[in-house]
A and B are shown apart, each in its own frame.
Chain A
Amino acid sequence: MEQRIIASARVTGPLALIAALAWVYAVWLIAPAAEAVQGVAYKIIYLHVPCWPAAYLAFGLTAVGGMVYLVTRREDWDRLAHASAEVGVLFTTLGLVTGMLWAKPVWGVWWTWEPRLTTSMILWFIYVAYLFLRALAEGSDRARVFSAVYGSVAIVSIPFVYYAAIELHPPVPQLPRAMGSVLLGSMLTYLIAYAYLLAERLGLSRSEAEQVA
């Protein structure tokens, strides 16, 4: 399983590059130039929103990897959980940063403590703590077990973030077809990027494990 994911980088790498080029082209030249209320700043939607499905998928895989490790004690599942969490933190960080860059021109502030933003930041802290935990206690079986339990429990935070983002959000008008298509393409691009970065990061984790074996 691990070898197959690592080898998939040979496919997802070029695919991610092509998708990224098409994505930049679509954001700048295909998507409607401006929106009535937000002007051109609305286009940050194509950079910000896709961060979250990629992050949720990453943290979901961290939980799955952790649970399978707890059952099987196979270290490749532990490495998968760790690699996925790191890539997930990258997407969460990008989600927070692009969110701030969107908030400033639209709301006039970089940050406000409303439920969506607060729960997203809590999610970021939860998984940064996971990475710190791993970095401090790398190598021992007890650290791996604790990380697996932490990663499996941490996933329960995602429904809260999702609920805050979707249910507590002011009603969003139906996106015009052109905007919806570019947004869907953006999500696909981020998911391909996630698959590529996960494969590369997993390859690094395995090289590190072989080095100390």
Chain B
Amino acid sequence: MEFLVAAQVIVLVSMVGYALWIRARRNALERTPHTGSGRTTAHSAR
């Protein structure tokens, strides 16, 4: 029984944790000011 419980907890925590980690990183990126060089824009303009 304990092995089944452990496996169930590991699967659920891993998937939810991974989804939350992605969300947190994405939110942090969206709050950070744009740090790029503008290379793509300049290149496109040429």
Which A residues have a C-beta under 8 Å from some C-beta of B? Answer: 20, 24, 27, 40-41, 43-44, 47-48, 90, 93-94, 97-98, 101-102, 104-105, 193, 196-197, 200-201, 203-204, 207-208, 211-213
Chain B interface: which size bin?
Answer: 20 to 34
Residues of B within 8 A of A204 (CB): 22, 25-26, 29
Instruction: Find out whether the CB atom of A101 lies under 8 angstroms from the CB atom of B7.
Output: yes
Distance in Å: Cβ of B15 to nearest Cβ of chain A: 6
Measured CA separation A94–B13 after assembly (Å): 11
Q: Which parts of B1-46 form the interface with A (CB within 8 Å)?
A: 1, 3-4, 6-8, 10-12, 14-15, 18-19, 22-23, 25-26, 29-30, 32, 34-41
5 additional A-B pairs beyond A47-B4, A211-B32, A213-B36, beta carbons within 8 Å, are: A41-B3, A48-B7, A102-B3, A211-B36, A213-B38
Instruction: Find out whether the CB atom of B29 lies under 8 angstroms from the CB atom of A94.
Output: no
Residues of A within 8 A of B40 (CB): 213
Residues of A within 8 A of B39 (CB): 213
* Contact among A27, A94, A211 with B34 in the assembled complex (CB-CB below 8 Å): A211
Instruction: Find out whether the CB atom of B29 lies under 8 angstroms from the CB atom of A97.
Output: no
Residues of A within 8 A of B30 (CB): 207
Residues of A within 8 A of B32 (CB): 211
Q: Determine the main DSSP class of B at the interface with A.
A: helix
- The 18 listed contacts between A and B (C-beta, < 8 Å) are A20-B12, A24-B8, A40-B4, A44-B4, A47-B7, A93-B14, A94-B10, A101-B6, A105-B3, A193-B15, A197-B19, A201-B22, A203-B22, A203-B26, A204-B22, A207-B26, A207-B29, A211-B34
Distance in Å: Cβ of B10 to nearest Cβ of chain A: 6
Measured CA separation A204–B44 after assembly (Å): 24
Measured CA separation A142–B26 after assembly (Å): 26
Distance in Å: Cβ of A30 to nearest Cβ of chain B: 15
Residue of B nearest to A13 (CB): B19
Which B residues have a C-beta under 8 Å from some C-beta of A? Answer: 1, 3-4, 6-8, 10-12, 14-15, 18-19, 22-23, 25-26, 29-30, 32, 34-41
Instruction: Find out whether the CB atom of B26 lies under 8 angstroms from the CB atom of A197.
Output: no
Residues of B within 8 A of A98 (CB): 7, 10-11
Measured CA separation A43–B3 after assembly (Å): 10
Instruction: Find out whether the CB atom of A200 lies under 8 angstroms from the CB atom of B41.
Output: no
Residues of A within 8 A of B29 (CB): 204, 207-208, 211
* Given A193-B15, A197-B15, A207-B26, A104 contacting B3 (CB threshold 8 A): yes
